């Protein structure tokens, strides 16, 4: 009803979970689930992962174009110079790591990144211009790998490893994680994984970042909210769980009975199925190729499990297209490259922070706050308030 001359906006019913609901326009990319294709600014994301560096795709996402060799080298130098943490943040990391000894580096990242934003004086995106917003996203993105690896090492009783400006984003990440310069093949495999997971439509964490940005909050506040969404096992917390599935099956002769038991019980098999794709996940296809390039028993077993799971799912759930998603072979590749499982989802965050940043920059151009409605289903109001006593 009209109130004070203002007509309330109509309430529109939408699908549960906002599935398929368009909430904004974006020039950053799209996911075409029925085609098994997704892109970053018109370029196939998988093709970018096969042919370009992480820094080139980072440049594409925030500047809107792939850099030429001169600009690429300049961007690498610019971002590499931002990796070192301020003294006040570095001094706080041991306490953050101790407090998060159970929850791990991703939870610690929320605290460390908040401290970083405060120490650098990050201001609300509503109050700053586009250049300052861009600077803030570069600063925050560059330090995320440094924080994650430091928190992991401190949790293991090891000293953090200082970043090296002469290594690429991916190679430096592995270097800070292990303390040793990585093999080129491992660095490139992780780089390709990172590129393939930079962005992927309006997933839960990206949408969270944009909702917070719409309030005018600072860049770090937006990123911390996105990290919280990513930490959920139904979003970014699945790569290690998918690998746990392989461990639970154990041997090839146990694949069929193990899978049948879980499917018939209605359990979800981690690493299979996707809310958008109705065909093979292109990220999984690419990562399977990377894994097969390494070879070995784990890869052979994973490929056989994938084959049998798809056969059994087709038999027990006819008419449904269920294939491996990115988490299944991501876990295999990260295991082969020596990453501990506790760092699988944090590694995902080290990539997705670029996509979040690009979305923050895009959303900050729109001053309209995101404020949907909810349907009240509780007891009929008003109810008299009982007197105390």
Looking at residue 3, its pLDDT comes to 46
Across 25-34, 210-219, 263-272, 279-288, the highest mean pLDDT is recorded for: 210-219
Average pLDDT of the segment spanning 86-108 = 94
Query: Which stretch of DSSP H or E encloses residue 43?
Result: strand 43-44
Question: Does residue 15 have a pLDDT over 50?
Answer: yes
Beta-carbon contacts of residue 176 (< 8 Å; ≥ 6 apart):
145, 146, 149, 150, 153, 160, 161, 162, 163
Q: How far is CA 8 from the centre of its chain?
A: 37
Kindly state the tokens that stand for 252.
């090839």
Looking at residue 1, its pLDDT comes to 40
Question: Does residue 55 have a pLDDT over 80?
Answer: yes
- How far apart CA 375 and CA 113 sit, in angstroms, is 35
Catalytically annotated residue among 55, 191, 327, 362: 327
For the beta sheet containing 37-40, the strands, ordered from the edge strand earlier in sequence to the opposite edge, are 29-32, 37-40, 43-44
Kindly state the tokens that stand for 339.
């990453």
Asked if 135 is an active-site residue, the reply is: no
CA geometry: angle 94, 99, 102, nearest 5 deg: 115
CB count within 10 Å of CB 65 equals 9
DSSP per-residue letters across 107-157? HHHHHHHHHHHHHTT---GGGS-HHHHHHHHHHHHHHHHHHHHHHHHHHTT
- How far apart CA 93 and CA 105 sit, in angstroms, is 10
Question: Does residue 238 have a pLDDT over 70?
Answer: no
Asked if 310 is an active-site residue, the reply is: no
Of 154, 162, 181, which is closest to residue 170 (Cα–Cα)?
181
Predicted TM-score (pTM) of this structure = 0.91
Question: Does residue 102 have a pLDDT over 90?
Answer: no
Q: What percentage of the chain exceeds 90 in pLDDT? A: 73
Catalytically annotated residue among 152, 186, 274, 323: 274
Average pLDDT of the segment spanning 283-305 = 94
Average pLDDT of the segment spanning 116-133 = 97
Average pLDDT of the segment spanning 194-213 = 95
Instruction: Give the model confidence (pLDDT) of 139-168 as tens digits.
Output: 999 999 999 999 999 999 999 999 999 999
- How far apart CA 339 and CA 342 sit, in angstroms, is 8
Q: Taking all residues of the chain, what is their mean pLDDT, rounded to a whole number?
A: 92
| 270 pLDDT tier (thresholds 50, 70, 90) | confident
- Strands 37-40 and 29-32 come out as antiparallel
| 237 pLDDT tier (thresholds 50, 70, 90) | low
Say which residue, 115 or 22, is predicted with more confidence: 115
- The answer to which of 38-47, 56-65, 259-268 has the lowest mean pLDDT is 259-268
Question: Does residue 376 have a pLDDT over 60?
Answer: yes
CA geometry: angle 360, 189, 49, nearest 5 deg: 50
Kindly state the tokens that stand for 116.
């970083």
- How far apart CA 171 and CA 183 sit, in angstroms, is 9
Instruction: Give the model confidence (pLDDT) of 300-310 as tens digits.
Output: 999 999 999 88
- The answer to which of 39-43, 77-81, 312-316 has the lowest mean pLDDT is 312-316
Instruction: Give the model confidence (pLDDT) of 327-372 as tens digits.
Output: 888 999 999 999 999 999 999 999 999 999 999 999 999 989 999 8
Average pLDDT of the segment spanning 47-55 = 98
Looking at residue 7, its pLDDT comes to 58
Q: Phi, psi at residue 3, to the nearest 5°?
A: -130, 120
Average pLDDT of the segment spanning 308-323 = 83
Looking at residue 101, its pLDDT comes to 85
| 103 pLDDT tier (thresholds 50, 70, 90) | confident
């Amino acid at each position: 009803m009209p109130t004070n001359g203002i007509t309330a906006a109509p309430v529109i019913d939408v699908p549960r979970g906002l599935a398929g609901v368009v909430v904004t326009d974006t020039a950053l990319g799209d996911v075409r689930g029925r085609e098994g294709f997704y892109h970053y600014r018109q370029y196939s994301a998988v093709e970018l992962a096969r042919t370009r560096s992480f820094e080139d795709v980072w440049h594409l996402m925030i500047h809107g174009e792939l850099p030429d060799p001169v600009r690429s080298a300049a961007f690498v130098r610019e971002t590499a110079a931002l990796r070192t943490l301020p003294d006040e943040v570095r001094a706080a990391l041991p306490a953050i790591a101790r407090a998060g000894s159970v929850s791990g580096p991703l939870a610690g990242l929320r605290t460390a990144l908040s401290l970083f934003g405060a120490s650098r004086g990050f201001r609300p995106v509503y109050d700053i211009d586009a250049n300052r917003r861009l600077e803030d996203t570069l600063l925050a993105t560059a330090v995320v790998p440094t924080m994650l690896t430091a928190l992991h090492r401190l949790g293991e009783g090891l000293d953090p490893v200082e970043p090296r400006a002469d290594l690429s984003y991916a190679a430096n990440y592995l270097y800070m994680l292990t303390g040793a310069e990585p093999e080129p093949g491992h660095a490139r495999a992780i780089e390709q994984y990172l590129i393939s997971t930079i962005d992927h439509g309006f997933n839960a964490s990206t949408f969270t970042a944009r909702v917070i940005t719409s309030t005018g909050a600072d860049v770090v506040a937006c990123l911390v909210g996105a990290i919280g969404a990513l930490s959920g096992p139904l979003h970014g917390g699945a790569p290690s769980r998918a690998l746990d599935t392989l461990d639970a099956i154990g041997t090839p002769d146990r694949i069929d009975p193990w899978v049948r038991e879980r499917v018939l019980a209605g359990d979800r098999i981690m690493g299979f199925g996707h809310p958008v794709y109705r065909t093979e996940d292109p990220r999984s296809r690419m990562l399977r190729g990377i894994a097969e390039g390494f070879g070995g028993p784990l890869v052979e077993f994973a490929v056989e499990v994938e084959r049998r799971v798809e056969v059994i799912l087709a038999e027990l759930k006819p008419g449904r297209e269920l294939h491996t998603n990115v988490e299944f072979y991501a876990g295999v590749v990260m295991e082969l490259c020596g990453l501990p499982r506790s760092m699988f989802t944090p590694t995902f965050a080290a990539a997705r922070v670029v996509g979040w940043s690009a979305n923050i920059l895009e959303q900050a151009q729109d001053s309209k706050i995101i404020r949907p409605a909810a349907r009240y289903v509780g007891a009929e109001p008003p109810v008299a308030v009982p007197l105390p006593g």
